[in-house]
Amino acid sequence: MFYFIPTWNQNHTDWEQEFLEWYYTTRKMEFDDTVNQLTMFSQAKEKNKTIILEYAPMLRDFLQRQDLYDIDYYSIFDDAQDTRVENVRPIDPFEFDWPKNAQFIYMLFNVLVEVNGKSYAQIISGNLGQLQRINFFEEGRTSKTYIFDDRGFLSSIINFNDNGQFKEQIFFNLAGEWRFKLLPSEEVIINSTFQDDFKQKKYTAMRDLIEEKYNEFVIENIGKDDVVVIASEKRHNQRILHAKKTGKVILSIFSQRLNIEQCFPNEEELAKVDVIVVDTQQNEKLVQEKLETMGVSIPVLQIPPFDSRLRLGQSQRIKELKIFVLVDNTPLDELEIIVDEISQAMYENEKINLILGAYSANREANGKLDKLKKKILDKIDFTEEEIEIIETAENQVESETNKELVKQAKFFKRITFYKIESESELIKELNFVRLIVDMGKDTDLYLQIAGISAGIPQINSTPSPYVENHKNGLIISDPLELKEAIDYYLVGLKNWNQALVYAAGKIVQYSSDNLIRLWSESLELVAKKGENDE
């Protein structure tokens, strides 16, 4: 049986998942190697279980977004809090015992509760409308926060002192009894009533309690023939690879989570690893170099984290020819050349539209978008306000000079400055895109995968196993070659259709069945390593 241990922790702590207000929860790319692994194992009906180490009261919300709602999982905190429950029980916060003169004011993103004209509480919902937390106020400061589990019960309460600083976090069971509490010193105190469920009366830090419960689960459930797949991350490696080992261990390295140069596991941690799985050929090379330098022998296998939720796009159904350019990993001076090259194509063909995209969480990339917009406006010598006025008066324009102004205004309107909030939003945007351009030295892995799935040809500056030159894309070393590359795919349909057919073959190549076969190969490597170690 496969046991997957993800690290979906986005918090500053090493023991909890961060869940912001519902309108922020998806403002980051959440897809990773573990999401893909769980998806394909479920589709192939391979026996697997997920071990959730972090405190995650909104876990079901996350799983639903990733189409993993039905996975089988064991939660450390469900065990420690005694909150194992499968049924969802909706909570109506308006049925709580509020003060009699409480007024509920429906704000744009939450519900504000006022008592005698003063802020008393703030009710915050999760991504699916479920109660997520309630902040209570005293004298204009937050005095306590109720944190609710998305299955419908109070999970913990955070209390703050008179200065608004953290005082304690109390964790409850389903009956509302406190099981343990976290102090500002990071110590965890156990309720003496439930002492029999724990080995210590108090723990130096939450990670010690997690490690205790994890070791208990390993001893009781994981046998020598089972396989544990660990999502490699610095804090995660330290926590899991220092714990008791049972079964075979595969370390899964994902580009957007682990910096191999700076955070690679040490010799002690690697001693418990049987096989390392990486997502790209570049990472495969880096890992092998690291192992050689350390004098450690561990098999390394590349398995792409392919998102099987994606489908072929529909760009051929619309008249516009949309070009999507990711700006994140490309220097600004090169981007300016890229925009100039695409602009030439846009002036020649009015059907061509440009989408300049950047991940919303990347401030530097968003700065590039702003600078590119300013440069384009400066070049056509307009402000955005002037463009709106010109468009409004288009039907009244008669002179050739004014017609040229309208043409320039329409040109700018064919450019979209797009901030990528989540992978689901990116997928929607790519549905009608005809061509992807990513000229960064480190091409974006998820964008490449999404492009393959949508059947979109891609233009890159560096080779990769996902985009092959003159097959499902073009590899060009100089951005000045971009205009010719655009013509290659947008003038006539022959080359574009050939890329679509090749991309469809890639989809089959990265199907769940074929990826499961690669995982079977990883098990063979595990077995061989075990024989060599004996």
Distance (Å, whole) CA 402 – CA 394 = 9
pLDDT score at 30 = 73
pLDDT score at 25 = 46
Site of tokens 């496969």: 2
CATH superfamily of 2-83+207-302: Glycogen Phosphorylase B; (3.40.50.2000)
Binned at pLDDT 50, 70 and 90, residue 450 comes out as confident
> Where is average pLDDT lowest: 61-65, 78-82, 266-270, 430-434?
61-65
Binned at pLDDT 50, 70 and 90, residue 20 comes out as low
∠ CA 519-460-304 to the nearest 5 degrees? Answer: 5
Is 213 a residue whose pLDDT tops 80?
Answer: yes
Report, in angstroms and rounded to the nearest whole number, the Rg of the chain calculated over CA atoms. Answer: 27
pLDDT score at 533 = 61
On whether the CB atoms of residues 396 and 405 are closer than 8 A, the answer is no
- Mean predicted confidence (pLDDT) in 518-528: 73
Distance (Å, whole) CA 15 – CA 441 = 34
CATH assignment of 315-509, among 3.40.50.12500, 3.40.1080.10, 3.40.50.2000, 3.30.590.10: 3.40.50.2000
Distance (Å, whole) CA 149 – CA 70 = 17
Using one digit for the tens of pLDDT, what is the confidence trace for 278-299? 988 888 999 999 999 999 999 9
Distance (Å, whole) CA 475 – CA 485 = 9
Distance (Å, whole) CA 190 – CA 441 = 51
Choose among 110, 81, 63, 99: nearest CA to 171. 81
Is 394 a residue whose pLDDT tops 60?
Answer: no
H/E segment holding residue 517: helix 512-533
Q: Provide the b/e sequence for 107-118 (b: ≥16 CB within 10 Å).
A: eeebbbbbeeee
Look up residue 165 and give its two tokens: 């600083």
Q: Which residue has the higher pLDDT, 505 or 143?
A: 143
On whether the CB atoms of residues 29 and 446 are closer than 8 A, the answer is yes
Using one digit for the tens of pLDDT, what is the confidence trace for 458-497? 999 988 878 889 999 999 999 999 999 999 999 988 999 9
- Mean predicted confidence (pLDDT) in 263-283: 90
Binned at pLDDT 50, 70 and 90, residue 391 comes out as low
- With H, G, I as helix, E, B as strand and everything else as coil, classify residue 230: strand
pLDDT score at 458 = 96
Is 453 a residue whose pLDDT tops 70?
Answer: yes
pLDDT score at 524 = 78
Is 246 a residue whose pLDDT tops 90?
Answer: no
Q: What is the DSSP string of 364-402?
A: HHHHHHHHHHHHHHHHHT--HHHHHHHHHTGGG--SHHH
Q: What is the DSSP string of 466-487?
A: SS-BTTTEEE-S-GGGHHHHHH
153 strand-pairing partners: 149
